[in-house]
Amino acid sequence: MKMAEVTGEGRRIVAGERTVRTVVRATAMIGPGDELLSLRIVPLAVIVTGPAELYAISMDGMPADVKSLLEMIS
């Protein structure tokens, strides 16, 4: 079995002048014949941007650094 893991951005939500971006980690377990056996998607953080604000909210208990999170999804 093979495992594939990727960190990326979920759907963006725009609310007025604010944008909410979700950061997720997806892990896939791939079996014989490249058959997808399981897929797990875990939310890591939410990034909120606005005219005068930029902050992150952790969803996995780890510190949420905006710069690091943006690098992960770029």
**Domain residue spans in the chain?**
2-72
> What is the full per-residue pLDDT of the chain (74 aa) written as tens digits?
899 999 999 889 999 999 999 999 999 999 999 999 999 999 999 999 999 999 999 998 888 889 899 888 87
- Tokens, residue 37: 């056996």
> What span, in angstroms and rounded, lies between the C-alpha atoms of 56 and 21?
9
